[in-house]
Structures are given as structure tokens and as C-alpha cells.
Amino acid sequence: MKDVLIKIKGSQITAGGREDVDLTTVGKLWRRNGVWALSYDEIEAPGMECAKTTVSFDGETVVLKRSGGSGSTRMTIQRDKRHMCLYDTGFGDMTVGTFGQSVESSLNEHGGECFMRYTVDINSGYESVNELYFSVKEAASRVSINH
């Protein structure tokens, strides 16, 4: 397990418009059974306090797991496939579907980049198009974080 600096850029496009996020944080990078994984603590947004996110990449499939905070979930994103998950919001559960349009990763022991583009449907109704980009670099001994 290695300390890394993670830059995350994301966008969500819905009928109501586009929302972007840009976050830099520290986390961990490791490889187990041929699968690269990142973990990091979520930003302190309402409902996300104490939440940890783990993102696993096996080359074709990404699994996003969030635990803690006001809810937890596990979403699978795989190119050209639809997956269903139960999304716990902390206020109730809903069925969420993901359909992977693009999944790319160049992660290795020194870091790398990951990109995914996928659609989300809630209770079988189209909700959004999402993009997530991760840039991962080995962390220096002293890292300053800007949110």
C-alpha cells in the first residue's frame, strides 16, 4: 500500500444542467489479485462526514464503494454493460443502474490515470451522464491539500 496524491475531476450532466467537481486529496494505492485500488476519505460535505471511498480497477471494470457518512453503496461500471445496485442515501434506498460507455486505466505502481464515462438511471428512469477522471501520483513526504 502506497501513499498517493489523487486529483479527481468529475461531471454530471442532467436535464437540469451540468455540475462539475474538482478535488485533490491524499489516499492509498495498492494492487491485490491483479486489481488496482485507490481509497480516500470523502470531503466534508453534509452527509459525507467520515465516508471512505474505494475505487477498484481490473482493466475493464470499475467498482466504486462508499461506506460511512449517511449511507453506503457499491456501483459497478463496465463498458457496454448495465449493472444494478442498491444505493443507500441514509434516508432510504433506491435502485440505481449504471451503463458504462468508457472505462480506461493506466494505473501502475507509480500512479497513473483512470477515466470512466457512464450513465445513471434511478428506478429504471434515465438520470444523468457522468464522467470521472482520476490522476494518481506518488505522494511526497509533505503534501499540501487544496479543496
pLDDT grade for 117, boundaries at 50, 70 and 90: very high
- Tell me what the pLDDT averaged over the chain comes to: 87
Provide the whole-model pTM.
0.82
- Name which residue leads in pLDDT, 145 or 9: 9
Q: Is the dihedral of CA 45, 97, 131, 102 positive or negative?
A: positive
Q: What is the mean pLDDT of residues 85-98?
A: 82
Q: Where are the domains of the chain?
A: 2-138
Helix, strand, coil: what percent of the chain each, to 5? Answer: 0, 70, 30
Q: What is the mean pLDDT of residues 37-65?
A: 80
Q: Render the burial of 87-126: b for 16+ CB within 10 Å, e for the rest.
A: bbeeeeeeebbbbbeebebebeeebbebbbbbbbbeeeee
CATH class of 2-138: mainly beta
- Name which residue leads in pLDDT, 116 or 70: 116
Q: What is the mean pLDDT of residues 107-128?
A: 92
